[in-house]
Chain A
Amino acid sequence: MGEAIAFYFISACILGFAVLVISTRDTVHSVLFLVLDFLFVAALYVLLGAQFLAAIQILVYAGGIVVLYLFVVMLVNLKRSPEAHADPHRKTKLGFGLGAAVLAELALLAVRSSEMPVRPVVQAAAVPVTGNTEVVGWMLYTSYLIPFEIASMLLLVAMIGAIVLAKREL
């Protein structure tokens, strides 16, 4: 029962703040609502028993990415509202309609698939340690070592790319 209450409370907060993120006029407020949204997603990870991922979520998203967004909001001039100039060809209502249609499809899919029994899968690797962080770390450095290294390469390339893009002249 406690889990259900926690789940519904956290879900309501996640969806509510997500709606606020995309509907607020002020971009800075939008970024701050995004922080709250990420924190509640981290709470959901704790509820699911993924404590390591919750810590990563708070460190990387709420701590790193959001600061990046705030810097960009600070650097660009938002005095002239970006919403002022409207493209006459833009079809906002169509966007809402398509979003509702896809949501209905996904919900139907989720409800239908829940009627099928879930087959337990065999463990991908023999994990000799217990505890969430140990399990994830073990998998990252054994079965998923090459993707892990590629991810670090990707971050390096992204860092260099961001510096090159943001520099005035090389």
Chain B
Amino acid sequence: MVVITPTHYMLLSAALFIIGVIGVMVRRNIIIIFMSIELMLNAVNINLVAYSAQLQNAVGQVFAIFIIAVAAAEAAVGLGIILAFYRNKETINIDEMNLMRW
């Protein structure tokens, strides 16, 4: 008999978060990097909901809803920036995005 504890959910969420981190660090396509950020936000949400279920307290789910709202805002603004940048420089490779690098 295997009991699923919050530790299992924490490990799942840590693994998903690290996959997102590796995606941000390794890929050069900025759209994929944005998707990795969404994966990381999802990992945080899994953690919140798991503890919300464990503690029988819905606050975790409320915070998860706020995180989803912030993720939606982030995606809208970020993709707007990508489009504006693509129109100027014709690239979505972050290695070529060095306008503000000294």
Q: Which residues of A contact B (CB under 8 A)?
A: 1, 3-4, 7, 11, 14-15, 18-19, 21-22, 27, 30-31, 34, 37-38, 41, 44-45, 48-50, 52-53, 56-57, 60-61, 64-65, 68-69, 71-73, 75-78, 80, 82-87, 90, 92, 95-96, 98-100, 102-103, 106-107, 110-111, 113-114, 118, 120-121, 123-124, 127, 132, 135-136, 139-140, 144, 147-148, 151, 154-155, 157-159, 161-166, 168
Contacts and interface: CB of A to CB of B under 8 A. Distances in A.
A165 B81 contact: yes
A107 to B, nearest CB: 6
Interface of B: 1-12, 14-23, 25-32, 34-36, 38-39, 42, 45-46, 49-50, 52-59, 61-62, 64-66, 68-77, 79-84, 86-87, 90-93, 95-96
18 contacts: A1-B2, A7-B4, A15-B19, A37-B39, A41-B45, A48-B52, A60-B72, A68-B79, A69-B35, A96-B25, A98-B25, A106-B17, A114-B7, A118-B55, A135-B58, A136-B61, A155-B72, A161-B80
